[in-house]
Amino acid sequence: MKQLFTLFLFIVTITCFSQKKYPKNYFRNPLEIPTIFAGTFGELRSNHFHSGVDIKTQGKEGLKIFAAADGYVSRIKVAQFGFGKALYITHSNGFTTVYAHLSKYAGEIEEYVKSIQYKKENYQTGNIFLKEGKFPVKKGELVAFSGDTGGSGGPHLHFEIRDTKTENIINPMFLALHLQIPNRLQYNRFWYIL
């Protein structure tokens, strides 16, 4: 009984804590299609734990990717392996969202990346860290297009929410799991909880 009570207290604490940390409606769905997860957080992969969620893109590439919240593009990396073409957006609430396996970036960001590739004479750019004023974005602004670049086994969007300071990856399913969503692999209202 005592253990049950401790567990109860633990759940209440975690719930209160997470509600403070994740203001409702802060993040939106980075895609404009219903969210269907192909992979979930913490899954065991061949040599690592999966660090985000994989969102299905209807088997297609080139779907519009929108900024999950207001912020600025803080990092870009183009690599042959791993995340492929990746984009990082830092938000004022202390979190950074990560979008990976992209086919290309949108507008000015794409132009900027191309100029760096030409300058380096290399497809791979390494980490490009950007200052706050370079590419500020609004929630819902088009930032990239989905793809299948890097270590990706088919078109999808790999999405992460990280703590900006510590780089610790937050499980975006956290609240959804707490609310006992019946089917956690397919939950369209997921983004309204976050």
| Span near Zn ion by CB under 5 A; candidates 14-22, 74-82, 136-144, 153-161 | 153-161
Instruction: Report in angstroms how near the CB of residue 38 gets to Zn ion at its nearest.
Output: 8
By beta-carbon proximity to Zn ion, the closer residue of 100 and 106 is 100
- Minimum Å gap between C-beta 55 and Zn ion is 9
Residue 118 DSSP symbol: H
What is the spatial distance between Cα 192 and Cα 194, in angstroms, rounded to a whole number? 6
3-state SS, residue 96:
strand
Q: What 3-state DSSP class applies to 116? A: helix
Check if the beta carbon of residue 1 is closer than 8 Å to that of residue 9: no
Q: Which is nearer to Zn ion, 158 or 162 (CB)?
A: 158
Nearest to 80 by CA among 143, 126, 146, 120: 126
For residue 76 the two structure tokens come to 């870009």
Window of 80-88, 105-113, 140-148, 158-166 that interacts with Zn ion by CB under 5 A: 158-166
Cα-flanking dihedrals φ and ψ of residue 97, to 5°?
A: -100, 145
Question: CB–CB of 174/160 below 8 Å?
Answer: no
CB of 4 to Zn ion, least distance (A): 36
Binding segment toward Zn ion, per CB under 5 A, in 47-55, 62-70, 89-97, 180-188: 47-55
Query: Site for Zn ion (CB under 5 A): which residue of 22, 54, 71, 99?
Result: 54
Q: How far apart are CA 43 and CA 53, in angstroms?
A: 9
- CB nearer Zn ion, residue 56 or residue 91: 56
Residue 158 touches Zn ion, criterion: CB under 5 A = yes
Listed ranges 24-32, 53-61, 112-120, 137-145: which one lies at the site for Zn ion (CB under 5 A): 53-61
Query: Which residues form the interface with Zn ion (CB under 5 A)?
Result: 54, 158
